[in-house]
Amino acid sequence: MDDLQLLRDFAGPAELPPREDLARKRAELLTATASARRPHRRALWGGVTAAGLAAAVAAVVVLAPADTAAPPDPVPEPVRILHAAAAKARARPDLVPRPDQFVYTKTRLADGRVNETWASVDGTHDGLAFLFGHETELAGCRDGKRVQKESHGRVVTNRCVPHPAAPADLPTDADAMLAYLHQSTYGEGDTLHDLGREVVDLAGGYLRPAVRAALYEAVAKVPGLVARTDAKDATGRAVLGITWNSTTEHGIGNQDEFLFDPVTFAYLGSGTDAVVSQGIVDAVRQRP
């Protein structure tokens, strides 16, 4: 017997339900299926969105942190120049001259005249100077006395204390150097004018690297500094100028000036004379 026929005989005649019932059941099935799937899909998409937003927020926090601090004030140009000169000075070799040697310095004035000096390192030996075309002995101070030979054979003896051309005990710290400058004006006063004279006098002599650096850093603390990037010295060299205005004890306006090489930041003199050459020698009339 045919197997399909046996199944038909066992199940009996199968009648289809009415068409309207089929349509209604089909609609219910589709509605139920859609309702079952939709929450799962929405939850998955919502999770991805939240994760993406969290990552974006984290990226903003990491890559663009809030910065409410005000930018630092720019360093004034004269201070920058002086600090650069101090750094260059501090990096130079430290040469310690012997007490019996001399500091040779050659300077040129704006009118073309040249001065030369041989100053005793410890201040006790007799030096020499060619100033404005005249030769002058720089008598050393020994045993508290300076015996100076003047023109026409006259000899004058005065009490003294040695003034070393290469002082060994000058401060190497900017604040200590500034205090020293205020105290070392030979009783002339403590104005900016007095300070300027002392600074120019020190800078024109021989200073060990750490001392010269401290001097420049001390000058950087002086108020009212002005930088001149188009200045020239007495020889016509292009220089960097640091100036500050002061008033003498007689109320006369004065301008003190430091001149530096624009590349090496070596000290080149003041506004009135230019340092042409400087070095340590063993005897007067000897040149480095």
Instruction: Walk across the sheet containing 155-159 and list its strands.
Output: 141-142, 145-149, 155-159
Sign of CA dihedral 82, 83, 87, 90: positive
Token pair of 173 as six digits? 């710290």
- Residue 7 CA to residue 28 CA, distance in Å, equals 31
* pLDDT the model gives residue 60: 43
Tokens of 117: 């000096």
Residue 87 token pair: 């750094």
The Cα-based distances of 57 to 6, 46, 67, 159, 202 in angstroms read 71, 17, 17, 82, 61
pLDDT digits (tens, 9 = 90+) for 70-121: 555 566 799 999 999 999 999 999 999 999 999 999 999 988 999 999 999 9
Ramachandran area for residue 165 (φ above 0: left; ψ -120 to 50: alpha; else beta): alpha
- 236 in helix, strand or coil? coil
Q: Average pLDDT across each block of 10 residues of the chain; the chain has 288 residues. List them in order.
A: 43 50 54 47 40 43 49 75 97 95 95 95 96 92 90 85 92 95 64 80 93 97 89 90 72 71 94 91 97
Check residue 36 and give its pLDDT. Answer: 46
Q: Which of 53, 72, 95, 42 is nearest to 212 (CA)?
A: 95
For the chain, give every domain's residue range: 19-63, 77-116+164-281
How does DSSP assign 155-212, residue by residue?
EEEEE-----SS-SS---SHHHHHHHHHH-STTS--SHHHHHHHHHHHHTS---HHHH
Residue 79 is predicted with a pLDDT of 95
pLDDT for res 47: 43
> Whole-angstrom Cα distance, residue 118 to residue 142?
17
Q: Give the pLDDT confidence score for residue 165 in this predicted structure.
A: 94
- What's the pLDDT score for residue 71? 57
